[in-house]
Amino acid sequence: MNIELILFGAFALLTLLSAGMVIFARSPINSAMALVSTFFFLAGIYVLLWAHTVAVMQVLVYAGAIMVLFLFVIMLLNLGESPTRGRPTLARLVGGAATVGLLAVLVITLLKVPGDAPVMAQEAQATFGTMALLGQTIFTQWLLPFEAVSLLLLVAMVGAVVVAKSRI
């Protein structure tokens, strides 16, 4: 039992607890804040996996930018308690059945995965996860999807401003 295993267990448990709080929180603000803590705990798991770049991106992009937008929308729309809270509806029953089905598929898939992990070549380990390799990959192989996502985010921000302006 080493410190990395203990930290992984702690981060995994805290991630599951905060994800549960996202689902079961009564207030949308509390749910959004629990989602922020989930993102931070996931970043801790990424650090333990030596994926520091992904951990930083997790905190900057998701816990920072995306959650600010979520909180802005929640506060702008002034979301309160749901009137059908606690009553089973068709959408909730279908969602629950879909969740159980996806969990079953995940368990079956994980049982079929071989136990021995592939080993990365020594020269690939030196550059794995670096910002230079990430930038080279994004701006060569994935340039079109990267630009499409940035354009989609720009359109979403302009749409949010237009909707907010009409309500004020």
Q: Is the pLDDT of residue 42 over 90?
A: yes
Q: Is the pLDDT of residue 78 over 80?
A: no
Pick the CATH number of 1-80 from 1.20.1260.10, 1.20.120.1200, 1.10.10.60, 3.60.15.10: 1.20.120.1200
Q: Is residue 71 within 8 Å of 52, Cβ to Cβ?
A: no
Q: Which residue from 105, 81, 3 is spatially nearest to 44, judged by alpha carbons?
A: 3
Out of 115-124, 136-145, 151-160, pick the least confident. 115-124
pTM of the model: 0.60
Radius of gyration of the chain (CA): 20
What pLDDT sits at residue 94? 92
In angstroms, the CA 137 to CA 121 distance is 19
In angstroms, the CA 128 to CA 124 distance is 6
